[in-house]
Chains A and B, each alone.
Chain A
Amino acid sequence: MDKLAKQLREDAANIDAEISAELDSRIRASLQNVKPESSRPPAARPPWFWWASSLTGVAAALGVIAIINLDQPGPSPQLQVQEPVAHIVVPEFDLDVEAAMLTSPLAEELARLQADLKRAEEAVRNDVRIDF
């Protein structure tokens, strides 16, 4: 043993670690009140235990399903969708104006405009012929 190890051992022995009578009695009293916990696995079940357990589980599940179905009062009511009610009230305007009647298609409108243009051109030619 080298010098350091020897001194460490000696110095540790010089630390006073006397156990008092009070501490000794405390420890012994505590141990009397402690029961070691068992680490043994639970006892093996007999083979029929698992069959009985499975059957019990299936029976319980069937019972719950039956109770849920019995408690339902007849066919489920159909949902009645109510017609949406128009809540928007359009105010009545008293403008005294006739609504524009745009019944003609755009093609007819274009033909009329072209005819108006032709008439305007003829009128201009007539006026020029008159002037010269």
Chain B
Amino acid sequence: MSDELKLINSAKGGSVDAFTELVYRYREGLFRFLLTRCASHADAEDVLQDTFISAYRYIATYDPQWRFSTWLYRIAIRNAGRLRKDNVAELGDVSDDSSDPLAHCIAESDRHNLWRNAKRLLSDEVFAAMWLRYVEDMSIRDIAAVLERSSSWTKVNLLRGRRALESELNDETQNPGSEAYG
């Protein structure tokens, strides 16, 4: 039995300490992902907190056939989507470049960060698929489970996302002074 599975089983038994250890393992990667998905830094923090609370409350339903990160990301995406719906319902469309947490969390010297382009070019779901594939090293099956999509959809959209980013990357190589990435 892996170390992670032991922690999960202890958490299922009610051990907060074991779950806190899992939180420490996943919180940074999950928070980085949420910063790309939420409308503000504060929203990303709220979603992160809600995600871990939900995960701990319903940890008895976790199926070990899936990676724990797959389960966590699925909860996080649902929570982020719910928060976005609430924000739109209360305040209208709150998307605003000045409050984009990703823009604040990327250093000024790293203006050509590909994930900023990805956010501009790709839909939320394709962006998430690309992130889970290239940052979290998830399999197609896991990505499809997180996004609640078919494996075919995941494969096709990963390819499309990749082509779109490669095209941007080539343009940037050919025109290094271009402001297209700003």
Contact = CB atoms under 8 A, between A and B. Distances in A.
Interface of A: 3-5, 7-9, 11-12, 14-20, 23, 26-28, 30-32, 34-40
A127 to B, nearest CB: 112
14 contacts: A4-B162, A8-B118, A12-B115, A12-B131, A15-B115, A19-B31, A27-B23, A30-B49, A31-B53, A34-B57, A36-B11, A36-B12, A36-B14, A36-B58
Say whether chain B's binding surface is mostly helix, strand, loop, or mixed.
helix
A31 B107 contact: no
B56 interface: yes
Given A12-B135, A36-B59, A36-B60, A17 B113 contact: no
B28 A16 contact: no
Nearest to B13: A36
Contacts of A39: 60-61
A16 to B, nearest CB: 4
B83 to A, nearest CB: 16
Given A5-B134, A27-B27, A34 B53 contact: yes
Contacts of A5: 134
B27 A8 contact: no
